[in-house]
A and B are shown apart, each in its own frame.
Chain A
Amino acid sequence: MGTATAKKMDPVLAELVSIVGAENATNAKHIRYAYSYDLSFVEPKLPDYVVMVHNVEQIQGVLRFANREKIPVVPYTAGTNIGGLCIPERGGILMDLKRMNKIIEIDPESLVAVIEPGVSHAQLAAALYEHNLRFGWPVGPPSASVASCAISHGIGGMNARYGLQSQEITSMEVVLPTGELVRVGSCAINPDAWHSVLPLPQMDGLFKGWLGTTGVVTKLGINVHHIPPVLKIFTVSCDTVEDMYSYMLNLSNYEICDDLTAVSWWLSQVPIPYPYKPMPAGASEWFSYATTYSFTEKEREARVEIWEKVVAEEKAKGTSIQVTHYPEEALAARTKLPSQIVGSTKNYCKQGGAGISWPGTFTPAKKWAPVYNDWKKILIEHNLSPSVRMSMYRGVHYGMLRAMIPFNKQSKQETENARHAIVECLKVDLAHGGMPYKPPVDFAREINGRAHPGYLSLLKQIKALLDPNDIMNPGKLGI
């Protein structure tokens, strides 16, 4: 491995070696190259150094040094986001956290787990399963980081019931860009208490949704949940997005689902057709699956009763709703999570070739239909499938609206075509009040261009307070 031994003349590397050891610091180009790209359309860029850290003290050491020398630091766990969030905008030190992968505690009574940032969904799923517990597993690869997903407002299979992954966070330990160790939530008051961020001021917000620009989370408390034994999945289809929205709105009012999602015909295909192809004549354009778990058969029957009432009401309205069969492979991929098969976006993009990105947004549910209809036009114009997903978050207020866009990454032209289409879609969504999550820099610019000046001012002040030398993942916020 290209470690420091042959690179003694580089003073930055020498310092990094003194902190993390020769085997854990490198500036070898091939190692840096492997961190230079991800699945997205974001242009590859190399870090100047890579370090693997094993403990909090090493993180503090690297950050103190980087802050003193004003060297950018990019935190990295698995690099599986679809926004180029770990691709360095300004070089610097890439801090790989995968070796900090301890599950520190699982409390099956309080239903709280405390994890390090390198803990993967697969790892946590296996550990929780021993207690018959679960978390809201996303449709990402099993090797992806639980903590990174949560602090980036990622989504999971229980969003309709509990909200975003970030809403499951109960406490945090963080190293600030200056190297200072801080805690927020109950663990700040009692080091062994990881149960809640409330009723204290919600300072966890200083580190959630900031794309790794305000610090390095070193421990995370999260809520976990029992696995009820009885699973029932409701599946329906509709011919129009308006009809599907009507059904989802109706059903979500009863708050009986862990996951309430609909996908367009193109996204229901495994993989997504690339390039665009029309859906077959007579096919429904929308399919929905809604998962509901029960502890008893009677509870399940009560949930089914509600669902049947909703379907009857939608039929009475004259919508195109039909109770339907959802393709088995696709259904398994949506419910047996974490999943290697859909593992996920990854299988979606098989036909495209290596690339996938999205306009992934939180959008008011009542705006889904107009946004989708515009997206469909844009995407088809770009010869891309309108492979769109809509999911309710914790009730009826808003939800996730996103289009998974595969593309052939080997072709610069096809990559740029996808990027252009995605940014155009984003503009439509922003105009309807939607907000992108895990946004690449292209998105950040669009967001900031529309932002209230007071928002941008506060954002800059907080960033400057926490990161006075702008070393943490600089450039990602687009400010």
Chain B
Amino acid sequence: MEWHIPSLKELEHFIWRCTACGTCKVAYDYGPPSTCADICPAGTEFGFEGAMASKGKIAFARGILDGSLEWDEDLINSVYQCTICGGCQSQCQLDHKPYIPEIIEGMRREAVEAGAGPLPAHKNLVQSLKSYNNPYQGPRRLRTDWARPFKKAGQPIKDLNKESAPVMFFVGCTGAFNQASRQIPQATASVFQKLGLDFGILGENEVCCGSTAMRVGDAAEFKRIAEHNLELFAKMHKERGVNTIVSSCAGCYRAIKKDYALAADYDKLMDGIKVVHTSEFLYDLHRQGKLPLSGGLQLTVTYHDPCHIGRHLNKFIVDTEGKELWPGAYVGLDESECLYDQPRELLKAIPGVKLEEMKRVRANSYCCGGGGGVMTGFGEWATKNAGLRVAEGESTGAGVMVSTCPFCNYNLGQGAKRIGSAMQVLDLVELIDQVLPKK
């Protein structure tokens, strides 16, 4: 399959559009009232200018391209000390803005190709992908453990390998293999069953989305997985009638929707299949009056925007051919696919739930610290950063921090423990499951 994954060299033109002005370093909004806050987890933790936002990462990219910097342990560590959250990208106003995550991942691909990357912990992760088709070294048979309670209760979840259904619930590896996150697929499946939805799962045949491989720069492994999944999705559409893939994981959703689209055959293979995140899926039902929320939860909650269903879904308007400005000019931003409002509207729709916003939200959401391979490569820092986010949540007076990503959910939970916070970290579907009556 042909892919359009750019090399660092191919991104060089955009790397030279960065002026090093440093606008990327802080989340600032004129307002009024004007607001200002840290936006870069790496900059917050390490502080040196090279660690700081896209300004710093682009300095590394320049140095690698012009031969000033050679791969050594220090450089490798710094290149991987980035959650690729895109917070800096939200601030930047220059022509390289649309390509900032690609430039960072391009450096990582360069490192992998040079034999210098990824980090040893990431190599274990990639090896696990190769051996087990998941990054958790989990045997295939354990992938459906989370679904046992449904079988036990006499409400087994449909297996798409054997039966047809229009909706595929793509569970994701974190929900399936990370014990602490299993409540998310369980709540999702519970909600779907309560709604009487005709849905199924791939069961033991589900394969990782490949996001982790892509994030750490192993394009070859990503492509292997993505090609398998794209062909499987097409087969499921043809043979099992699947027309919607629902993901409760922000990382999987982003990968299938955005990373897979780098394949030349994406449109052909995904023809007739819609990819949606649970928050979007449930919000559509809510709008149609098909999500009957009842009962009451007397909770004050705050909402953490995962990067992968937020600003990572930005669409950038670029004057590619220079018809209005000049070739490659960044013209503007289209946020219509960013899932900022849907989770909030659902939270507001839950009886008794009061939503209190943190200072850094939506495009300026402060990353939990777990993404971009950081949780694997620098676990201690990931947890520390999550503690900062939880503390920000505490400042709103909320007792519950809600998110829509198992990865964020896990990391924020660890962060809460680290700072001794009583903050409860829940996924949106867990709350909805509590107030959705059985049919």
Q: Which residues does A use to contact B, with CB under 8 Å?
A: 1-2, 6, 23-24, 26, 28-31, 33-35, 37-39, 50, 52, 76, 78-80, 96, 98-99, 120, 122-123, 125-126, 129-130, 141-144, 336-341, 343, 345-347, 349-351, 353-356, 408-410
Contacts and interface: CB of A to CB of B under 8 A. Distances in A.
Interface residues of B, number: 45
A50 B48 contact: yes
Interface centre among A28, A120, A142 (most CB of B within 10 A): A142
B77 A80 contact: no
Given A26-B48, A33-B63, A346-B93, A39 B74 contact: no
Contacts of B26: 120, 122-123, 142-143
A279 B28 CA distance: 34
A365 B123 CA distance: 65
Contacts of A340: 23, 28, 30, 91, 93
Interface in B65-84: 68-69, 73-75, 77-78, 81
Interface string B35-73: 110000000001111110001100110010000110001
A31 B28 contact: no
A350 B329 contact: yes
Given A120-B36, A129-B33, A52 B59 contact: no
B34 A122 contact: yes
B326 interface: yes
Q: Which 10 A-B pairs have the closest CB atoms?
A: A2-B74, A34-B50, A34-B59, A346-B21, A122-B36, A122-B28, A410-B16, A142-B28, A126-B36, A28-B74
Given A120-B36, A353-B17, A354-B17, A341 B93 contact: yes
A408 B326 CA distance: 14
Given A2-B77, A142-B26, A353 B34 contact: no
B32 interface: yes
Chain A interface, DSSP helix/strand/loop, else mixed:
loop
A211 to B, nearest CB: 19
Interface string B277-301: 0000000000000000000000000
Given A1-B46, A28-B78, 18 more contacts: A1-B51, A2-B73, A29-B68, A29-B75, A30-B75, A31-B49, A31-B51, A31-B78, A33-B59, A34-B50, A37-B59, A39-B19, A78-B22, A141-B22, A343-B93, A349-B19, A354-B16, A409-B16
A24 B47 contact: yes
6 contacts: A30-B59, A129-B34, A142-B23, A338-B28, A346-B93, A353-B16
B18 interface: yes
Contacts of A354: 16-20
A355 B56 CA distance: 16
Contacts of B94: 346-347, 350
B95 interface: yes
Contacts of B20: 37-39, 79, 354
